Amino acid sequence: MSSIYFLGIGGTAMASVAVALSHAGHAITGSDTQLYPPMSTYLDDHNIRYFNGFSEENLLSASPDVVVVGNAISRGNPELEYALDHRLELVSMPELVRRHLIAKNTSIVVTGTHGKTTTTSLIAWLLEHGGLKPGFLVGGIPENFSIGCRASGQSEAGFFVTEGDEYDTAYFDKRSKFLLYRPDIAIINNIEFDHADIFNSLEDIKRSFRLFVNLLPRNGTLLVNGDDPVAVEVASKAFCRVERFGLTEESEWSARNISTDHEASSFDLYHKGELLGNIRIPLFGNHNIMNTLAAVAAASHTGLPFHAIMRGTPLFLRPKRRMEIIGTFPRNITLVEDFAHHPTAVRVTLEALGNLYDGRRIVTCFEPRSNTTTRNIFQQEMSECFGPASIVIMGKVHRPERYLPEECLDTARLKEELEKQGKTVFLAGKNPENYPGDIVAFLESQLIDGDVVIVLSNGSFGNLKNLLAESFQKKS
């Protein structure tokens, strides 16, 4: 076993891999800045020693055999500079996962712009429920496991399920992470333009996905969203078996007769035109039906019998921050949190929420934080994705100083467009010292009985979720 140091340990995947390798017997340390729950709590709960802030002294104290460099770390970081000066072994997190966790296991890799975390979590759960003891790496905390990563529990080669991110790997390796995960069974959920900081166009992203498809062996399996023309196009040159999943009869795996109640969605599952049975899953929205189809198809290709899959789906628990119901408060106000930060993800999440809470007002708090939504690339799409929301609160644009003024998301223009749709819109953050308290104060004056408030962000949003929960409880 070795001593491994995680430079940038606060990232969701980095922290999860650190804990998994600690459980496997490696000595783990690391460092980061701005660590916040749930990842700081996660590290503390698993007794992982980490330093707040970067300093050469941290590496001197830890004296590691290997330094794992997170993809947010760049030249100029004092610890990275020390590691280079002293010729310490540097690896990326995906390379570490391939070496120590995927290894000789059958590798199931879930890719796509949206739905990766939910789909990966569901596949891991179905294999676990079926007794296969899979290893997995999820970009979140799957509730059925309460850990984001673990090694396979099989004594010999088993299965390892990986959330395959298209973002780049490390400062010294600009390939998409999923290119290091040696897929045997792969899923492409969907492909859209995203990650504007590293990709210049949709064609750029498609190029990475084509390279991924080319990694699959001839005896592998590629499962592709049959309702997404871009994904189908990218999959067309695969050397392995390709099967589509979708909501139309043309796909090999299809969902029909979809119905929803307040606890779950149900649908009839067809494979190559044959009815296999009815699937019940505690997820909502057609996007989650697609995620479920992909997961069921992948689980089937591991050899898991359909009756075992059908018994496992109703017991699935959503990952944290995926339409996670934080609580229902006095006056029947419901608080929900979701990770959605791309216009498509915002739209489908709000549509699912509107269907689930039919007849109740949807109040949306959105933080433009990702490297795509902080720019005006999706200016028009952002004005079209809040459909079911009656009230939209727009948080501060994250780190706008990175861009020229004409490159930034124009929130004032967005406010005008949304108000034309009859929505009430509040632009938060005009007084930075009272942010996000200004959102709490605004909502205290606006909420009515039965409102559903959803917080959408891929960051902490200034702890808004907890501030709102405290406010709703006090205002009873």
Over range 104-121, report the average pLDDT.
Answer: 94
For residue 300, give both structure tokens. 């089937």
pLDDT at position 475 is 64
Cα–Cα distance between 247 and 255 in angstroms, integer?
Answer: 5
Cα–Cα distance between 142 and 59 in angstroms, integer?
Answer: 31
Largest CA distance in the chain: 63
CATH code for the part of the protein at 103-315: 3.40.1190.10
Cα–Cα distance between 23 and 35 in angstroms, integer?
Answer: 21
Expressed in percent and rounded to 5, the helix, strand and coil fractions of the chain are 35, 25, 40
Q: Please report how the helices 343-356 and 286-300 are oriented relative to each other, as an axis angle in degrees rounded to 10.
A: 100
| 154 or 209, higher pLDDT | 209
Over range 171-183, report the average pLDDT.
Answer: 95
Residue from 166, 174, 221, 185 nearest 69 by CA: 174
For residue 452, give both structure tokens. 């559903």
Model confidence at 356: pLDDT above 90: no
Model confidence at 39: pLDDT above 90: no
Model confidence at 198: pLDDT above 80: no
| Confidence band for 476, pLDDT divided at 50, 70 and 90 | low
Other C-beta atoms closer than 10 Å to the C-beta of 158 total: 18
- Which residue's structure tokens are 């090694």? 151
In this structure, are residues 322 and 270 in contact, taking their beta carbons and an 8 Å threshold? no
Over range 391-416, report the average pLDDT.
Answer: 89
The fold for domain 324-474 equals: Protein-Tyrosine Phosphatase; Chain A (3.90.190)
- HSE of 167 in the Cβ direction (CA atoms, 13 Å)? 20
CATH top-level class of 3-94: alpha beta
Model confidence at 435: pLDDT above 80: yes
Model confidence at 8: pLDDT above 90: yes
| Domain ranges, ordered by start, for the chain | 3-94, 103-315, 324-474
What are the distances in angstroms from CA 416 to CA 149, 183, 367, 405, 440? 44, 46, 17, 18, 22
Q: Please report how the helices 437-446 and 464-474 are oriented relative to each other, as an axis angle in degrees rounded to 10.
A: 40
> What's this model's pTM, rounded to 2 decimal places?
0.86
- HSE of 247 in the Cβ direction (CA atoms, 13 Å)? 12
* Angle formed at CA 337 by CA 335 and CA 341, multiple of 5 degrees: 140
Model confidence at 436: pLDDT above 70: yes
Query: Helix count (H) and strand count (E) of the chain?
Result: 15, 23
For residue 249, give both structure tokens. 């009869």
DSSP of 116-181: HHHHHHHHHHHHHHTT---EEE-SS--TTTSSSEE----SSS-EEEEE---SEEETTEEEEGGGGS
Q: How do residues 144-158 score in pLDDT, each as one tens digit? A: 998 889 999 887 789
The amino acid at residue 399 is R
pLDDT at position 305 is 95
pLDDT at position 439 is 94
Residue from 196, 16, 184, 175 nearest 113 by CA: 196
Model confidence at 66: pLDDT above 60: yes
